[in-house]
């Protein structure tokens, strides 16, 4: 579904790229595809409309039309605008100057509040804070038990009064206890509620009034569709939330909903939950999300290229190395480590310049252990070998294999693969887009792609 | 709606057909109300007056309304194109009411697929519930169990196959108590396949009418968890060759275009027979239902329009299409 769109967008953009001059018609057709891609990512219709309008105005402006390479400028503008839409800089939580910092969590049913509470507790725990949780979801069967269990896993204390007490009373009582027990942070879990449920929304504002939280966070499921905006507006009214926790980002949802929430309410996305485990939770990085929404290897490649041409300094070194064919396994390792730090691994190969064009690597499921092995192999090489892999022959190869706990064949495969990649990247750095056909053939020659296909 | 095979409903009225007209009206009124509560819905409401004057703007407005209902771009384009074509060719009169009526028809056609019945004719019939986290699986099967047991007088065994989420079994236990169903559960973290096995064997041993197996919510992108789900299905199939007879996926009405991926990937893993759209009582219109039935051909079988037990309803494409557009 999305592939089709991203393919279209990619072909539109590379089509646009290949021309010296762009007509208004070219821009229009690119805008149409971008609009579709955003809608498929569940970005709110109105946000998309406004977004493509701004985008079009900029694209028709002098900075593109007078540029030597208008296509790349278009790609760059798309990226910039998207990152901007998402709220360029991250925002910090407000921490109380004295007494416990109170964080109130709200959201629809099933958005992942209870889990997010525990994850947030664990996040604070890592900062050596004494965290407590208040179980105010008295409606859903067994919600209290869930919070107690998850709180234990997170190492947080849980204040609960079963399901017979009033949520507002539980919240105020929990706050008193947290003060007495000198906790650093109190996270209040509330029942999931529909934003049109007046009674429950009133209850939420009462909890807010009584506990005066330092931060109110709205938990939004990354898979939410067009309705996210209406939901956020209602919650903004009742709970005046300060930021958003986006959950279930480990799926393949593009998270356009959360993006729309930012665009419409101006409230930033503060945290993202990216996995089943309690530690799969972290601060949100808008830039990473921009890439995710675009979610396309080739477009990303193009963006990197566009950026590198415009902002010479940042990528100058790498660029030089590529041009002069000095890109070494050392650089490869650094790059790989950087990329791996960025989070989910699927699609990472697509982010390496040039690799994204390989169809078969797209949607590939990357086996983390394979990457570990690749790292191990490179780490087992001497600096000289990393700089000049041609040195790696029989005995050296054996030594590297032994050192990294891999097989000689794997070492050979890595070196061969690296060689081919370097050739490809050199040609790209010199301004030539490799012929896709040729790339496909090349990828066929790659001994064994380090991916496990779905 | 529900195929009970040779079994006769033992007491009280079946779920839908013989429900008193008043209650039925009440339910659909509620559905319509809930579908239109948001300000958004009012702003983009498609009434007959929209079609009084037909120009590009009309079709754009319609497109907008459908996309805002999460119907998705491809299905929206197909629907609008079809209607536009019919109007242009003069197949239907270019007047407000006929166009609107035809639009509802087209939408209902998109939403209808064959095999819309829930097949519980086997003895015991095994129903398996799957879906992404937080979409309402446990609540839905709790309600299904209640209906089967209290309205149809069937004996129900429930298997607490969600051994992962903290307190999921307790949640199901609560529902089993309300429905008067028997609950089979394992240790926290136990193999879900073994729980399913125990539940189905218990159902066979007690000659139960229906065995309902809950599973842990999982994202469809997690291959290992999808494989685990496929295994649960295989385990059930070993006990009763055709089982599970009915596999339902629950999809949250607020879900956007990702719902299509969910339905597709789950279907590939465990052959989904039908969709339950939950939480339709919010302002979300659950247009993803249209996208799923038109693009994947998987029928929507049940909808959840509220928290009460009777708010789990059979899906009616015509009513749904009308509610999607109506005030």
Q: How far apart are CA A191 and CA A135, in angstroms?
A: 9
User: Is B36 part of the contact surface with chain A (CB cutoff 8 Å)?
Assistant: no
Q: Which of A192, A223, A278 to mutate to test the interface with B (most CBs of B within 10 A)?
A: A223
Contact B279 A251 (CB under 8 A): no
Residue with more model confidence, A239 or A296: A239
User: Is B43 part of the contact surface with chain A (CB cutoff 8 Å)?
Assistant: no
CATH topology of domain A313-454: 434 Repressor (Amino-terminal Domain) (1.10.260)
Backbone phi, then psi, for B115, in 5-degree steps?
Answer: 45, 55
C-alpha separations of A374 from A234, A381, A415, B58 in Å: 50, 11, 10, 57
What SS3 class is residue B130?
A: strand
Q: How many angstroms separate the CA of residue B121 from the nearest CA in chain A? A: 31
Q: Could you say which DSSP state residue B149 is in? A: I
Domain with CATH 1.20.120.140 in chain B: 29-111
What value, to the nearest 5°, has the Cα angle with vertex B212 and ends B254 and B258? 25
Contacts of A111 in chain B (CB under 8 A): 134
Domain with CATH 3.40.50.300 in chain A: 101-284
Contact A1 B281 (CB under 8 A): no
Mean pLDDT of B10-37: 44
For residue range B35-72, list pLDDT tens digits in order: 444 334 433 456 666 677 777 888 888 888 888 888 88
Contact B257 A252 (CB under 8 A): no
**0.90 exceeded by pTM:** no
Residue with more model confidence, B188 or A391: A391
* Alpha carbon A434 to chain centroid, angstroms: 28
Contact B282 A40 (CB under 8 A): no
Q: How far apart are CA A422 and CA A353, in angstroms?
A: 10
A223 → closest Cβ in B40, B69, B258: B258
What is the pLDDT, as a whole number, of residue A12?
63
Alpha-carbon torsion, ordered B310, B311, B312, B315, to 10 deg: 120
Range with lowest mean pLDDT among A293-297, A412-416, A449-453: A449-453
What is the pLDDT, as a whole number, of residue A316?
63
Beta bridge partners of B212: B127, B158
- Does the structure show a pLDDT above 60 at A358? no
Q: How many angstroms separate the CA of residue B185 from the nearest CA in chain A? A: 15
What is the pLDDT, as a whole number, of residue A451?
40
Domain with CATH 3.40.50.300 in chain B: 116-316
For residue range A394-440, list pLDDT tens digits in order: 889 999 999 988 888 888 888 888 887 777 776 666 655 555 444 44
C-alpha separations of A346 from A149, A338, B262 in Å: 31, 14, 18
User: What CATH number matches the domain at B29-111, 3.20.20.370, 1.10.1040.10, 1.20.120.140, 3.40.50.300?
Assistant: 1.20.120.140
What is the pLDDT, as a whole number, of residue B198?
93
What is the pLDDT, as a whole number, of residue A302?
42
For residue range B286-308, list pLDDT tens digits in order: 889 889 998 899 999 999 888 78
Q: How many angstroms separate the CA of residue A63 from the nearest CA in chain B? A: 31
What is the pLDDT, as a whole number, of residue A391?
87
CATH topology of domain A1-90+287-310: 1.20.120
* Alpha carbon B106 to chain centroid, angstroms: 20
User: What CATH number matches the domain at A101-284, 3.40.50.300, 3.40.50.2030, 3.90.550.10, 3.40.50.970?
Assistant: 3.40.50.300
For residue range B194-244, list pLDDT tens digits in order: 999 999 999 999 999 999 999 999 988 888 899 999 999 999 999 999 989
Q: Is the dihedral of CA B301, B307, B308, B309 positive or negative?
A: positive
User: What CATH number matches the domain at B116-316, 3.40.50.300, 3.20.20.20, 3.30.465.10, 3.10.440.10?
Assistant: 3.40.50.300
């Amino acid at each position: 579904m999305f592939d089709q769109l991203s393919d279209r967008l990619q072909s539109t953009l590379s089509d646009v790229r290949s021309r010296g001059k762009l007509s208004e018609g070219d821009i229009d057709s690119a805008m149409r595809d971008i609009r579709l891609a955003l809608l498929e990512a569940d970005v709110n219709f109105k946000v998309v409309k406004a977004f493509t309008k701004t985008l079009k105005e900029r694209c028709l402006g002098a900075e593109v039309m007078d540029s030597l390479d208008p296509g790349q400028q278009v790609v760059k503008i798309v990226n910039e605008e998207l990152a901007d839409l998402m709220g360029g800089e991250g925002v910090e939580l407000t921490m109380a100057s004295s007494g416990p910092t109170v964080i109130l969590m709200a959201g629809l049913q099933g958005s992942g509040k209870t889990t997010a509470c525990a994850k947030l507790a664990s996040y604070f725990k890592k900062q050596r804070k004494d965290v407590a949780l208040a179980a105010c979801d008295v409606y859903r069967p067994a919600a209290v038990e869930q919070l107690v269990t998850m709180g234990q896993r997170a190492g947080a204390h849980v204040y609960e009064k079963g399901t017979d007490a009033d949520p507002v009373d539980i919240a105020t009582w929990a706050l008193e206890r947290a003060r007495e027990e000198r906790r650093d942070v109190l996270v209040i879990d509330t029942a999931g509620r529909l934003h049109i449920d007046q009674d429950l929304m009133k209850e939420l504002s009462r909890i807010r009034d009584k506990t005066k939280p330092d931060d109110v966070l709205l938990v939004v499921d990354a898979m939410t569709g067009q309705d996210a905006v209406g939901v956020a507006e209602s919650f903004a009214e009742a709970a005046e939330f300060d930021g958003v926790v986006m959950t279930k980002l480990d799926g393949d949802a593009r998270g356009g909903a959360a993006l729309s929430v930012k665009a419409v309410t101006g409230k930033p996305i503060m945290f993202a939950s990216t996995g089943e485990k309690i530690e799969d939770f972290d601060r949100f990085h808008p830039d990473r999300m921009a890439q995710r929404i675009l979610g396309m290897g080739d477009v990303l490649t193009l963006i990197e290229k566009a950026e590198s041409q415009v902002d010479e300094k940042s990528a100058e070194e790498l660029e030089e190395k590529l041009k002069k064919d000095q890109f070494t396994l050392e650089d490869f390792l650094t790059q790989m480590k950087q990329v791996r730090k960025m989070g989910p691994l699927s699609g990472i190969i697509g982010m390496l310049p040039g690799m994204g064009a390989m169809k078969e690597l797209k949607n590939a499921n990357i086996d983390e252990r394979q990457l570990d092995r690749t790292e191990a192999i490179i780490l087992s090489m001497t600096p000289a070998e990393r700089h000049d892999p041609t040195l790696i022959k029989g005995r050296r190869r054996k030594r590297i294999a032994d050192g990294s706990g891999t097989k000689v064949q794997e070492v050979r495969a890595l070196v061969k693969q690296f060689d081919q990649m370097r050739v490809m990247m050199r040609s790209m750095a010199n301004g030539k887009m490799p012929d896709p056909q040729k790339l496909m053939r090349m990828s066929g020659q790659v001994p064994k792609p380090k991916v496990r296909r779905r | 709606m529900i195929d009970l095979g040779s079994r006769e409903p033992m007491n009280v009225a079946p779920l839908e057909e013989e429900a008193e007209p008043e209650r039925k009206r009440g339910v659909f009124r509620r559905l319509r109300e809930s579908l239109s509560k948001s300000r958004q819905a009012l702003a983009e409401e498609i009434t007959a007056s929209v079609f009084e004057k037909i120009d590009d703007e009309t079709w754009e407005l319609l497109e907008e309304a459908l996309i805002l209902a999460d119907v998705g771009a491809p299905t929206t384009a197909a629907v609008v194109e079809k209607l536009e074509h019919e109007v242009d060719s003069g197949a239907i009169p270019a007047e407000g009411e006929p166009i609107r009526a035809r639009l509802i028809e087209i939408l209902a056609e998109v939403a209808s697929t064959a095999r819309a019945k829930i097949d519980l004719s086997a003895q015991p019939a095994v129903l398996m519930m799957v879906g992404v986290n937080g979409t309402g699986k446990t609540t839905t099967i709790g309600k299904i169990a209640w209906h089967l047991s209290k309205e149809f007088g069937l004996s129900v065994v429930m298997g607490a196959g969600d051994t992962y989420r903290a307190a999921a079994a307790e949640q199901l236990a609560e529902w089993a108590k309300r429905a008067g169903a028997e609950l089979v559960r394992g240790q926290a973290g136990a193999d879900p396949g073994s729980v399913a096995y125990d539940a189905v064997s218990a159902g066979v041993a007690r000659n139960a009418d229906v065995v309902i197996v809950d599973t842990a919510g999982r994202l469809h992108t997690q291959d290992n968890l999808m494989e685990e789900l496929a295994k649960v299905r295989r385990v059930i199939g070993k006990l009763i060759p055709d089982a599970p007879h009915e596999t339902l996926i629950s999809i949250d009405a607020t879900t956007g275009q990702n719902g299509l991926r969910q339905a597709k990937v789950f279907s590939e893993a465990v052959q989904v027979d039908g969709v339950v759209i939950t939480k339709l009582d919010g302002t979300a219109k659950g247009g993803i239902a249209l996208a799923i039935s038109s693009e994947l051909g998987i029928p929507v079988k049940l909808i959840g329009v509220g928290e009460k037990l009777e708010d789990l309803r059979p899906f009616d494409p015509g009513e749904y299409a009308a509610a999607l557009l109506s005030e």
